[in-house]
Amino acid sequence: MPQVDLIIIGGGPGGYETAAEAAAKGLKVILFERDRLGGTCLNRGCIPTKCLCATAKRLNDIRHADSLGITVPEVSVDFSAVRKRLTEITDTLREGIETVLEGVEVIKAEAALCQGPAVVADGTTYTASDIIIATGSCPARLRADGAETALTSDEVLSLETIPESMVIIGGGVIGLEFASVFSSFGCKVTVVEYCKEILPGFDRDIAKRLRSYLSRHGIDFVTGAEVSSVEDGKRVSYLQKGKEKSIQAACVVSAVGRRPVVPAGLEDAGIATDSRGFIVTDERFRTTLPGVYAIGDVNGRCMLAHAAAAQGRVVLGKNVNLDIMPAVVFTDPECASVGINSEKADESGREYITVKLPYGSNGKALASGEDDGIIKLIIDKENGLIAGCHCVGAHAADLIAEACTAMNAGFTAERLASECVHAHPTLSELLASAAAIAR
Do 100 and 183 have their domain in common? no
Mean pLDDT of 399-407: 97
Please say which residue of 256, 282, 303 terminates a domain. 256
pLDDT of residue 2: 74
Do 281 and 360 have their domain in common? no
Do 133 and 185 have their domain in common? no
- Model confidence at 246: pLDDT above 80: yes
- Model confidence at 330: pLDDT above 80: yes
Do 387 and 428 have their domain in common? yes
Do 151 and 226 have their domain in common? yes
Do 126 and 175 have their domain in common? no
Please say which residue of 256, 288, 323 terminates a domain. 256
Residue 10 covered by a domain: yes
Do 44 and 166 have their domain in common? no
Averaged confidence pLDDT in the chain: 96
Do 134 and 268 have their domain in common? yes
Mean pLDDT of 127-147: 96
Q: What is the pLDDT of residues 192-240, one digit of tens each?
A: 999 999 999 999 999 999 999 999 999 999 999 999 999 999 999 999 9
Q: What is the pLDDT of residues 164-180, one digit of tens each?
A: 999 999 999 999 999 99
Q: Side chain identity at 374, as an amino acid letter?
A: I
Residue 162 covered by a domain: yes
pLDDT of residue 194: 97
Please say which residue of 239, 256, 273 terminates a domain. 256
Do 7 and 113 have their domain in common? yes
Q: What CATH number did the domain enclosing 431 receive?
A: 3.30.390.30
Asked about 390 being catalytic, the answer comes back as no
pLDDT of residue 1: 65
pLDDT of residue 74: 86
Q: What is the pLDDT of residues 340-354, one digit of tens each?
A: 999 999 999 999 999
Total domain count, the chain: 3
Q: Is the pTM of this model over 0.75?
A: yes
Do 126 and 269 have their domain in common? yes
Q: What CATH number did the domain enclosing 180 receive?
A: 3.50.50.60
Domain with 361 in it? 333-438
- Model confidence at 73: pLDDT above 90: no
Q: Which of 64, 217, 306, 424 is catalytic?
A: 424
Do 390 and 248 have their domain in common? no
Residue 110 covered by a domain: yes
